Structure 1
């Protein structure tokens, strides 16, 4: 089978206006939620990316009627008898299939969850998911190829998650909607996409309070459906991770960019981190402007101490932005430490950026020191995961000469038509069929 790759000629300043895609990490759990709702659901601003399209295929296999109304707009109607066995060949392509465990268990009393696929960025445990469902009354049996989860009845409990896992929070919330009595989820994740899921469920009849905090309270309901007979319509929020990538794009290529449909509350920590790198972001009407001619100088901590950019649960700096932050720092004057706490293999892509000319010291699997600025030169590299893939695109766009980025199936999993959209801003990026 032919493999596509990106050929990128660097040093073209970008400029213009771009609208971010819908939030991938909100779309995936919403596709689980539609399995629980009796009424027709219309989702808008759905990102047309591989992970989302694969999960739509999964829920269609389970018995949900899916209609594509137009690009980015879909109608969903769950069938009367949902299949409780998730298709392993489809689930192996993406991590997001794990968010079907809670809703399918709640609706059928049983689900077989194949071992999830997704990015190869280190161990990605699902114990928190299983422990939360077990606390609600599920019995779990482990098999070599996955997990059978069964229950006679879900019972509301006071649950303390052993880690602030986004997808485990989403699974627990969806299952708890039909758990008898009241469920309290402590140490819950509170990212914008978790909030979007909870608001969508409430619009469908759920009783969830504490949205946006680390303690969610869910009171049981008997059904999820429209209260007026009309379809339930939900618009997915903008992908703040893509917004962060576009901020770096403008700064690295010295162009001016207007990014539309930005919720400023979603990027508060990003603005703090980018200001530490000497990058200015100006709020403007319904978006932000990243002006040209950025200072790009790292601000040291007090007493001249080397600053650190580290990820943390919301509202901290997102772990999925650390790859982009690292590449951005290579073009900033000064020294900064990047500390990726969550995944032990995410920073291994830096060998590719070092080969392009960056001065980076990989201290251990979680920490890298970046000393800049350094001129980057085009290289042939391969993307190991979605976020590293975008970081490599950014590096190539600010590098001298021509780069090739291979294994772009990883990039297509998370970014919609990224080559076409960047071409519209002046980037010299071509998709080549090998």
Structure 2
């Protein structure tokens, strides 16, 4: 178990390269099951969650190796359909294996997935969509077994535009008989990336990025080489790092269209944003203006950036309001920011933030991935020293974060801390 020791108050300066997207690579790793043979993935970030997904694939019989081109994933010798419970409990994204395993083998066995504790995230929409394709599920002692002789295309309407359910149904439908139409789908860039990967495998999918996706089933898929898109949340996090420390940063390897909502809010808060091709530069104002933020499905403001903006607004002028509409427990990092002197009042799904000129270092505990990033950002801007525990949460979603921040001038280091590692649920 490790922790960060951070001395705040240093404006960050320089350039930072954004890694491949965590939320794109995890479903794409799962989708390699569909293309029998070795697919090679480029720009795969070295993250805790990626390591868990690789471990799951190996448990199922896949062979994984580093090649000169990227990460090789050979799924031709897969011989199991049971996702190990101990690995499912580590990470929610293991649920992405349902669709590919059912499409290829007609069977999957799994338990309730783990992940960040940010509110209720049931898999009922995943199950509803897969049932519509013909899958029968049986539950026993908290574990599910899904079976199907032949997936058949269907018209499916999602009650909520769930990213995970959209992706799982897409992957299952690639080898289904006939056409599948999925309505009210999520529009995130990671879904478009998954569609592009699946189509290179030989799938026939149209509509990702819109309200409706059409999948025409094919008989078989083949392995390919593919490059993962840049991580828009990492890009947004570094933009906020520049803003909150009063610095000047150039974010490289980014798709600006994917972070439009983030850039709009930073501009509204008074910071200068300059976009050039695949680079975004931020020149921070002396102090952020107060703004209001409401999380929404893409292309709205991302819930994965809400905690980082709470840290930024804790140092802004005047009063700001954050409204969280996606996850009911995603304001629980406010209590940790309060330890630093931030004035935040939480009422149900709203946080009312009265900006302070200064916040102070404190001993903090990351409750989940993005909350941990928010605490790190606040620590970089605070007066004095902060200690952030449970940083394994942060390492689930940010590659080489410590090294990247140090290169930008941050004063932080990682050290071992005593105590048992909390369970990731």
Q: 2:332 aligns with which of 334, 339, 348?
A: 348
| Alignment check: 8 A CA contact 1:82 1:108 kept | no
Question: What's 1:235 paired with?
Answer: 227
- Alpha-carbon distance between aligned partners in 2 of 1:408 and 1:143, rounded to the nearest angstrom: 35
Question: What's 1:187 paired with?
Answer: 184
Q: 1:268 aligns with which of 247, 260, 263?
A: 260
Question: What's 2:47 paired with?
Answer: 49
- Alpha-carbon distance between aligned partners in 2 of 1:218 and 1:314, rounded to the nearest angstrom: 21
| Alignment check: 8 A CA contact 1:358 1:374 kept | no
| Alignment check: 8 A CA contact 1:278 1:332 kept | no
Measured after TM superposition, the shift of residue 270 of structure 1 is 1.2
Pick which of 175-184 and 270-279 moved more: 270-279
SS at match of 1:96: helix
SS at match of 1:431: strand
Q: 2:366 aligns with which of 376, 383, 392?
A: 383
Alignment of 1:27-426 (within 5 A): 27-69=25-67, 73-225=70-222, 232-294=224-286, 296-298=288-290, 308-364=292-348, 366-426=349-409
- Alpha-carbon distance between aligned partners in 2 of 1:144 and 1:340, rounded to the nearest angstrom: 34
Measured after TM superposition, the shift of residue 295 of structure 1 is 5.1
- Alpha-carbon distance between aligned partners in 1 of 2:395 and 2:78, rounded to the nearest angstrom: 33
TM-score (norm 1): 0.94
* Count of residue pairs the alignment pairs up: 417
| Alignment check: 8 A CA contact 2:270 2:285 kept | no
**Residues 60-106 of structure 1: CA distance to partner in whole angstroms, max 9, x if unpaired?**
11111111226x92011113443100011111111110000000011
Measured after TM superposition, the shift of residue 143 of structure 1 is 2.5
Q: Which runs of 5+ in 1 are unaligned?
A: 227-231, 300-307
SS at match of 2:67: strand
- Alpha-carbon distance between aligned partners in 2 of 1:172 and 1:31, rounded to the nearest angstrom: 15
SS at match of 2:15: strand
Moved over 6 A (4+): none
- Alpha-carbon distance between aligned partners in 2 of 1:245 and 1:144, rounded to the nearest angstrom: 40
Residues 55/81 of structure 1: CA separation in 2 closer, same or farther (3 Å cut): closer
Measured after TM superposition, the shift of residue 294 of structure 1 is 4.7
SS at match of 1:343: coil
- Alpha-carbon distance between aligned partners in 1 of 2:377 and 2:307, rounded to the nearest angstrom: 10
- Alpha-carbon distance between aligned partners in 1 of 2:138 and 2:168, rounded to the nearest angstrom: 18
Residues 81/47 of structure 1: CA separation in 2 closer, same or farther (3 Å cut): closer
Question: What's 1:304 paired with?
Answer: none
| Alignment check: 8 A CA contact 1:68 1:75 kept | yes
- Alpha-carbon distance between aligned partners in 2 of 1:132 and 1:4, rounded to the nearest angstrom: 40
- Alpha-carbon distance between aligned partners in 1 of 2:259 and 2:78, rounded to the nearest angstrom: 41
Measured after TM superposition, the shift of residue 407 of structure 1 is 0.6
SS at match of 1:327: helix
TM-score (norm 2): 0.96
Q: 1:428 aligns with which of 381, 395, 411?
A: 411
Measured after TM superposition, the shift of residue 145 of structure 1 is 3.1
| Alignment check: 8 A CA contact 1:44 1:74 kept | yes
| Alignment check: 8 A CA contact 1:280 1:294 kept | no
Measured after TM superposition, the shift of residue 123 of structure 1 is 1.3
- Alpha-carbon distance between aligned partners in 2 of 1:24 and 1:377, rounded to the nearest angstrom: 31
**Residues 132-181 of structure 1: CA distance to partner in whole angstroms, max 9, x if unpaired?**
00011000112333211111111100100111110110000000011110
Measured after TM superposition, the shift of residue 275 of structure 1 is 2.1
- Alpha-carbon distance between aligned partners in 2 of 1:341 and 1:19, rounded to the nearest angstrom: 31
| Alignment check: 8 A CA contact 1:63 1:81 kept | yes
- Alpha-carbon distance between aligned partners in 1 of 2:225 and 2:388, rounded to the nearest angstrom: 38
